[in-house]
Structure 1
Amino acid sequence: MKFLKYLKIGYSVLFVMLFSSGLAREVQVFDFDWRFALGDHEQVNTAGYSDNRWRLLDLPHDWSIEGEYDESHPGGIAMGFLPAGIGWYRKTFDYDSEWDGKLVSIEFDGVYMNSDVWINGKHLGKRPYGYISFGYDLTPYLKPGQNVIAVRVDNKKVPSGRWYTGSGIYRSTRLTITDPVRVEKWGHYITSERSEKTGIRTVTVETSIRNESEKTRKLTVETNVFSPSGTLVASSSEQVKLQSGERKVLDPRVELKKPDLWSPDSPALYVAETRIIEKGKQRDAYETRFGIRDFEFHADMGFSLNGIPTKLKGVCMHHDAGPLGAAVPFDVLRQRLQLLKDMGCNAIRTSHNPFAPEFYDMCDEMGFLVMDEAFDGWGKPKAAHDYGHYFDEWWERDLEDFIKRDRNHPSVIIWSIGNEVHGYTKEWQKRLVDFVKDLDPTRPVTQGRGYAGPHIDIAGFNGHGEFRGTFEKYRKDFPERTIIGTEITHTLQTRGVYRTKTWYRVRDNPAPWEIGKKFSSIEDRVYKIPDLSEEEVFVDEPRQYDSSYDNSIVRIGVRDEWMRVLDNDYYTGNFRWTAFDYIGESFGWPARTANFGIIDLAGIPKDHYYLYQSLWSDEPMAHILPHWTHPGKEGIEIPVVGYTNGDTAELFLNGESLGVQAVDQRKDTVWMVPYESGSLRLVSRKDGKTVAVTSVRTAKSAKSVTLALDKEIVRANRKDVVRVDIEICDAKGNCVPLADNRVEVAISGPGRLIGVENGDILDLDPHKVSSRKAFRGKLVAFVQAGDVEGAIDLVVSGEGLKSQRASITVVSEEPAAFEVTRNYN
């Protein structure tokens, strides 16, 4: 009988396929109760060292985000002016007698960077690359009683990346306990092939098994495939003889007659299970989720999935999450992905490095197509102290681990071997492409700005692809090449900030006085966006902030770029820079970032979120910008923009219609409205029927705060996180769009405050404190559950504001509904 296979993320002990007769494979979460000390220390790696005075904490942990912003920090604009350094982690754990005769390994999902690991004083190894998953065998060095893991993390030489990297053991860790006869780490490679004649799908579950016992073993290896509903749909069995120390690769095949196909709209997931049985006793049980789908990239017709032409509605992401830095809890990552899903996004590029394993599991579940990127650059460093210094020695090891870890995810459809790689040779490109294809020939390979290389499958265009005529010229020169926008487009917005005059980043676009020197007109180079008014309406906004109309751009705006995607079959789609604002790559002190994101550092959508939603989503929606609180502008015409995916839109001011406008593909719907206080209401219709309505209202002075929690019940697992959205409101509950009141967030009970953020790129308050100003009327707090039942009491207050209280219930942890299978070993 098949045991419960999927357990919810966050369990203190997580079993992957437990019983047939005896324990087969055990995976223990190893994130709790580590000791941490910042700085370098002597003798720390020895078992007798006393760490009693060190800080006690749980993983994931990023010490950089706990620091203060300072212009003098050596990481500079790349690190967003946050600190780096050296840190040590230690964890003491007891040997379990159940491990006798077993193999015990430790797995790290990511340590940034230059990690060294010891067990009981024995050095296990070093991994320079901060984004790769890795592990070590502990078995030879374990002893009865207490054992000590020590990890040194060296991120002292910065910048070690071109963006905020974080520092520390910022992803999860596990202990894996197996029989000496076992499926190897990342031991499945699952592919499928469809018969054109019968339509039957043959699934091959290539399986690597190893015998690390001291004698020859005669084994039965069973392969089972379970449907998305958990039903056994196919199986096979074979007899295998393994000598001591021998490794074999099996390739059992099973047939599925009418499989459910995986797609973003229907992310059907199967499970392949390998069981190793000896004399009726189960020695190992290993599972991997996979999906069945067909896709093609065609030079003329673009991308198709399961035979359906599909445009990639993509975004680029960095790995940090605002106030949480690089240590992103599962709940926060899922919430961020859900925001993108609701926007209509169907594709994500992991720019410019491997992400945490749970990211790919969530993409499999939720239905995202992934461009999985291995490196930013290669052997030539792009930041002063980045991975380029280690590339020549480590790239093969790291790239192999990366491909083997991720190649069973149906969400992953493209491998990217680099981004804007400078100084590379064609021979190096061929070397990496061939290496990837030896491990996985089923997916194409690209690069960010990789169109110049002859060995990649898909021409990837970054910013250069935003200039007029670039694609047309490339297609003329290389008609056989598929084109994709690996990093297109770049626009900038600050939530709640508006300007009516179009702005271009001058370093990419000619200023007016350059016209006539290099270009006959600005239109020769960029896609010109008309001003919304002859004179600037909003003259008082700080220059460091960017307009949330679609008129603050680098080279091409959102609408013009998406029209290129729709108008050209050969253009497969794009990955916009970026989904979220991220720390680092600042334009200079005191800005901690450049605000390219559709969603800000707090995870609050900007107006562009709704523009993309109107272009990408089929779910009825409507959105108005700007806000409607503009004292002193009475009678001045303000451009009011309506975003909707209906076919008509009607705007009302204080109940009076300002006219109906047809909504075209560009979603370019604007009314010039003389300002008067009151309310604006936008009605979206399709085929004459109202499908969405939204409104904004003039706010008075700030009187109170309102709270919105994304959940009110969490588990006592020290993992679950509640997002708390906080708004500053007037007496009638209207958000005050210019409010910047300082707010205090107080927590009591079995939980802790792990971050507060307002999205203001110029606000340099630290993140791990309870007080912060609102920005444009809003901020967000994150509360993490403890390990006991009870109620977390949350009180949010501010000077001159009526405080608000909320309660979060913490319940005991029980096996619950399926969320994510964590089989990373």
Structure 2
Amino acid sequence: MKKTSLNRGWVFMAGEKSSIPMMPQQTKEVNLPHDFMVETDVTPDAPGKAESGFYKGSAGTYLKTITLTEEEMTDTMLLHFEGCFGKTRVLINGNPVGSHAYGYTPFTMDIRKFLKVGDNEIQVIVHTDDDPNGRWYSGAGLYRGVNLLSAPAFHIAHDGIFVYTDHITNGHAFCKAEITVVNDLAKASGDAEGFLKLSAAKKDTGEEVAVRYQKISLPAGTSQVVPQAFVIENAELWDTENPYLYEVKAQLSLTSTGNVHMSLDNRQDLMAQTDYEDEITTSFGVRTITADAKNGLLLNGKSIKLKGGCIHHDNGILGAASFYDAEYRKVKLHKDNGYNALRLAHNPQSEQILDICDELGMIVFDEAFDVWNLPKNSFDFSHQFAEDGIKDIEAMVRRDRNHPSIFFWSIGNELTEQGGMAAGYEVSAMLAKTVRNMDSTRLVSGALCSFFKGLDNEDNAAFWQTFHKEMPQGGSVINMDNSYGKKIWMEYTAPFVKDWDVVGYNYLNYHYETSHELFPDRVILCTESKPGQFEDYWSDVERLPYVIGDFLWTSMDYIGEAGIGKSIYCSEEEVPQMSRMLNYAAYPWRLAQAGDFDLCGNVRAQGRYHQIIWGANDTYIFAKDPKNNGKIALIGRYGWAEGGNHWSWNCENGTAVSVDVYSRAEEVELLLNGKSLGKKPAGAECHFKAEFEVTYEAGTLTAISYQDGQEVSRDEVKTVGEPVGLKITMEKNQIAADGESLAYGIVEIVDAEGNWVPTAEDTLAKVSVEGAASLAGFGTGRGQTEENYTKGEFTSFEGRWQVILRAGTEAGEAGVHVEAEGLGHAESRVIVG
């Protein structure tokens, strides 16, 4: 199928288009991807409240005119949406074509009969005003790409090739391909006869490694799955360290010679005797995966433990818009900081992120749903699940099943049905069967939680009565569990997961060993864990073979579920009242304020600690903010203490500063201005940290880790000067002139020597972009703000901002200019072309 991107040149308007021609409406031109929610201002009356980051749903309409020639009017013409968030209706030349409800799955509409030679109007109407519709920031509109797919009547279906490794013997990969061929020729034309050529090649060099031919005959108006086996000799295997990729191409030829016989001598000639040809290409990786309770997860026969993070689909200050460069940057940050796995929570994400995970060697837990038939929000997908659930999970699997990075198909997260309500046991079995019918080469999974929901009236009453009784004795509000919930959990969830290959546990590590006793063949994956318990969760993964990995909630901060990672510092008298506020976020909280990386991708202290837990031999200084001295620290469910990896506090010399040094070495020495403050034990026995109380003195703070008396590593931070100016550092100096490439930059408040001043006073800055690019976003990782990421004005947070430029479609140079009162201005240039 020929794919033509339609991402450029759309007209967008708020609300719906008037049915009266020439009725004036305010419009603007946009290029896709486009998130119209992030362009709006947050508001305290947003129905989704903290869960949506106080963004409010609305409606929007996209219009685009495409001009088609007679030659371009092929027999099959499909409009393919990579994703559109909101309830979506599509019209062609005013004719209703179809609708789609689930904002995370791709969908395709047959538009051939509505098209004509000449100009054709595409109208896409999107509604997110049934609000709240989810538990996090959703974005709105055409936040992924749109394509026109064209093919002859006799063609290969869209996403119509599935390639997988059957087995590997003596280094040779025995592979199979299933190609779906469609004959849309009129019945009067009779059967279509043709040849299918399948070729496999190394993606990096193009060297062909296998070729197969198959003659096919297909009645009019039917489709057929054509199987084809092939062998790659001395195959390069895909794994996390060497993510080697092959490319497979299927080509379809319609014979023009009637009843033709294929032989070794004439097969290439026959392929050339065509009326037309259609083709499809896909990447895949040669690898095998298995999981069992004795050996754990095996990749190509070797044990691997998953160092995972959960991520939502948004891309920081860009909102939900899915750009390749944004997705690449996100995956690369994880890879560079020790991660080998990502959980795409809790819905299908862009195909781009899967391509990148294939390329970089990142294992993926691909998740379909956060709800089934029982709702979590008033207007969520539970209203459409009964009608569309199977269709949408099939769309996910069909699109994604060639990606070697995907090891798990997750059929849902924390489903309210996990105790059997609303036919939950039957739905779970049905979804697992649906997935396996489409792809039996991967592991079916999902994520369980405690029983704070999903119980009938009797059990629910008993659960909450027990919860309130046990809370004063230390019951865990963090995971909303208690002795009654724990007692019924095994029995109630067992029928729910009986068809799963791997069972995901969200914050349920206290069930691991009992589960193994009751279900000795169960393979467990920690699908969510908390940063405050890094050490415990990873210890379980290392010591229990049937626990195959850990996914942190969350590895990267995101919009929505606002305030779940906040910390509160208060007096002892305020503790009872403030403790309750840890589970409540008032306006203008916007971000979760959680993650190893902040919203802009800066590595936070917990991220460095996480790496050390995983085995890094680094040393990391974390100084706690002295402004909180004498206060009680209340750390949120997903929070971390306030502080930083610097020595530039706004305090007088002589002020007490608590300093933690993260290290897995035996001991750590701390020095201030060259003078030793002593050595303290670190490593596993001390929870991988050494704690010091330091009397603040401007200068240089150095930490050195020792193992067996030998230095392993060190970290050093220095006091910087007063803030006097701005500095822009771009991550790229050149981007493609394709309308979608991005250039990220960091804007810092600096001293006279050009050093970043992390404790600089919050300052409003304005940014402008001129030339061959435009401003895509300007903002910070501040958790509470009313400011807009798209308007070019934002207040600094910890002495910095993030700026993102979006390439235009003309080659040239782009300039970015930032200015702030009292700090002057800074400029940078980026080549576009």
TM-score range, shorter chain: 0.7 to 0.9
2:612 is matched by which residue type in structure 1?
Answer: S
Quick check: 2:369–2:413 contact (8 Å CA) kept in 1? yes
Alignment of 1:407-418 (within 5 A): 407-418=401-412
Deviation at 1:558, TM superposition (A): 1.7
SS of the residue corresponding to residue 49 of structure 2 reads coil
Deviation at 1:671, TM superposition (A): 3.4
- Alpha-carbon displacement from aligned partner over 1:398-417 (angstroms, at most 9, x marks no partner): 11111111111111101111
**Counterpart Cα distance in 2 of 1:689 and 1:211:** 72
**Counterpart Cα distance in 1 of 2:787 and 2:395:** 38
2:600 is matched by which residue type in structure 1?
Answer: A
SS of the residue corresponding to residue 78 of structure 1 reads helix
Which structure would you say has the larger RCO, counting Cα contacts within 8 Å and 6 or more residues apart?
Answer: 1
- Alpha-carbon displacement from aligned partner over 1:123-175 (angstroms, at most 9, x marks no partner): 11111111110011222221111000011111111011011111111111111
Alignment of 1:627-776 (within 5 A): 627-632=646-651, 634-644=653-663, 649-659=668-678, 664-665=683-684, 666-683=687-704, 693-739=714-760, 740-776=762-798
**Counterpart Cα distance in 2 of 1:316 and 1:734:** 33
SS of the residue corresponding to residue 123 of structure 2 reads strand
- Alpha-carbon displacement from aligned partner over 1:299-326 (angstroms, at most 9, x marks no partner): 1332121122111000111111222111
Quick check: 1:35–1:57 contact (8 Å CA) kept in 2? yes
Q: Evaluate the alpha carbon distance shift between residue 315 and residue 241 of structure 1 in structure 2; reply closer, same or farther with a 3 A threshold.
A: same
**Counterpart Cα distance in 2 of 1:133 and 1:804:** 42
Deviation at 1:676, TM superposition (A): 1.2
Q: Evaluate the alpha carbon distance shift between residue 631 and residue 38 of structure 1 in structure 2; reply closer, same or farther with a 3 A threshold.
A: closer
Query: 2:177 aligned with 1:223, yes or no?
Result: no
SS of the residue corresponding to residue 660 of structure 2 reads strand
Greater alpha carbon shift after TM alignment, 661-670 vs 740-749:
661-670
**Counterpart Cα distance in 2 of 1:635 and 1:561:** 39
Deviation at 1:806, TM superposition (A): 0.9
Give 1:208's aligned residue: 180
Task: Give the TM-score, by structure 1 length.
Answer: 0.83
Quick check: 2:765–2:795 contact (8 Å CA) kept in 1? yes
1:349 is matched by which residue type in structure 2?
Answer: R
Deviation at 1:588, TM superposition (A): 2.7
Aligned-residue Cα RMSD (Å) equals 2.2
Deviation at 1:52, TM superposition (A): 7.9
Q: Evaluate the alpha carbon distance shift between residue 278 and residue 805 of structure 1 in structure 2; reply closer, same or farther with a 3 A threshold.
A: same
Q: Evaluate the alpha carbon distance shift between residue 131 and residue 652 of structure 1 in structure 2; reply closer, same or farther with a 3 A threshold.
A: same
- Alpha-carbon displacement from aligned partner over 1:745-801 (angstroms, at most 9, x marks no partner): 122212111111211111221111112111111211111111222221112221111
**Counterpart Cα distance in 2 of 1:727 and 1:138:** 50
**Counterpart Cα distance in 1 of 2:790 and 2:557:** 19
- Alpha-carbon displacement from aligned partner over 1:171-198 (angstroms, at most 9, x marks no partner): 11111222222111111111222255x4
**Counterpart Cα distance in 2 of 1:328 and 1:193:** 33
- Alpha-carbon displacement from aligned partner over 1:700-741 (angstroms, at most 9, x marks no partner): 321112221110111211111111111112223332222212
Alignment of 1:227-626 (within 5 A): 227-228=202-203, 229-279=205-255, 280=272, 281=274, 283-423=277-417, 424=421, 425-449=424-448, 452=494, 453=496, 454-463=498-507, 465-466=508-509, 469-488=510-529, 490-491=530-531, 553=532, 557-586=533-562, 587-616=585-614, 621-626=618-623
Give 2:582's aligned residue: none
**Counterpart Cα distance in 2 of 1:242 and 1:118:** 32
**Counterpart Cα distance in 1 of 2:277 and 2:708:** 62
Quick check: 1:226–1:271 contact (8 Å CA) kept in 2? yes
Quick check: 1:35–1:51 contact (8 Å CA) kept in 2? no
Q: Evaluate the alpha carbon distance shift between residue 102 and residue 682 of structure 1 in structure 2; reply closer, same or farther with a 3 A threshold.
A: farther
Q: Evaluate the alpha carbon distance shift between residue 688 and residue 706 of structure 1 in structure 2; reply closer, same or farther with a 3 A threshold.
A: farther
Match of 2:41 among 39, 55, 68: 68
SS of the residue corresponding to residue 165 of structure 2 reads strand
1:479 is matched by which residue type in structure 2?
Answer: P
1:664 is matched by which residue type in structure 2?
Answer: G
- Alpha-carbon displacement from aligned partner over 1:213-253 (angstroms, at most 9, x marks no partner): 23233211111111243210011101112222231211111
Match of 1:780 among 802, 825, 832: 802
Task: Give the TM-score, by structure 2 length.
Answer: 0.82
Deviation at 1:396, TM superposition (A): 1.3
Greater alpha carbon shift after TM alignment, 52-61 vs 440-449:
52-61
2:87 is matched by which residue type in structure 1?
Answer: N
**Counterpart Cα distance in 2 of 1:737 and 1:305:** 43
**Counterpart Cα distance in 1 of 2:698 and 2:683:** 30
Quick check: 2:102–2:381 contact (8 Å CA) kept in 1? yes
Alignment of 1:792-803 (within 5 A): 792-803=814-825
**Counterpart Cα distance in 1 of 2:179 and 2:436:** 18
Deviation at 1:650, TM superposition (A): 4.4
Q: Evaluate the alpha carbon distance shift between residue 769 and residue 336 of structure 1 in structure 2; reply closer, same or farther with a 3 A threshold.
A: same
Match of 2:147 among 161, 166, 174: 174
**Counterpart Cα distance in 1 of 2:44 and 2:334:** 33
- Alpha-carbon displacement from aligned partner over 1:324-377 (angstroms, at most 9, x marks no partner): 111132111111111111111011111110001111111111111111100001
Quick check: 2:294–2:545 contact (8 Å CA) kept in 1? yes
**Counterpart Cα distance in 1 of 2:398 and 2:689:** 45
Quick check: 1:729–1:736 contact (8 Å CA) kept in 2? yes
Which consecutive unaligned segments of at least 5 residues does structure 2 have? 256-271, 450-492, 563-584, 624-645
SS of the residue corresponding to residue 243 of structure 2 reads coil
- Alpha-carbon displacement from aligned partner over 1:428-483 (angstroms, at most 9, x marks no partner): 211111111111112221111176423322221112x14xx321222222222111
**Counterpart Cα distance in 2 of 1:300 and 1:225:** 36
Greater alpha carbon shift after TM alignment, 628-637 vs 155-164:
628-637
Give 2:100's aligned residue: 127
Greater alpha carbon shift after TM alignment, 642-651 vs 452-461:
642-651
Query: 2:123 aligned with 1:144, yes or no?
Result: no
Tell me which protein shows more helix as a share of its residues. Answer: 2
- Alpha-carbon displacement from aligned partner over 1:521-548 (angstroms, at most 9, x marks no partner): xxxxxxxxxxxxxxxxxxxxxxxxxxxx
Greater alpha carbon shift after TM alignment, 383-392 vs 653-662:
653-662
SS of the residue corresponding to residue 389 of structure 2 reads helix
**Counterpart Cα distance in 2 of 1:407 and 1:564:** 31
Q: Evaluate the alpha carbon distance shift between residue 570 and residue 634 of structure 1 in structure 2; reply closer, same or farther with a 3 A threshold.
A: farther
Deviation at 1:612, TM superposition (A): 2.1
Quick check: 2:57–2:131 contact (8 Å CA) kept in 1? yes
**Counterpart Cα distance in 1 of 2:615 and 2:315:** 24
Quick check: 1:343–1:616 contact (8 Å CA) kept in 2? no
SS of the residue corresponding to residue 471 of structure 1 reads helix
**Counterpart Cα distance in 1 of 2:727 and 2:701:** 22
Give 2:462's aligned residue: none
Aligned length: 714
Quick check: 2:663–2:683 contact (8 Å CA) kept in 1? no
Deviation at 1:649, TM superposition (A): 5.0
Which consecutive unaligned segments of at least 5 residues does structure 1 have? 1-24, 492-552, 812-825
Quick check: 1:345–1:616 contact (8 Å CA) kept in 2? no
1:778 is matched by which residue type in structure 2?
Answer: R
1:715 is matched by which residue type in structure 2?
Answer: A
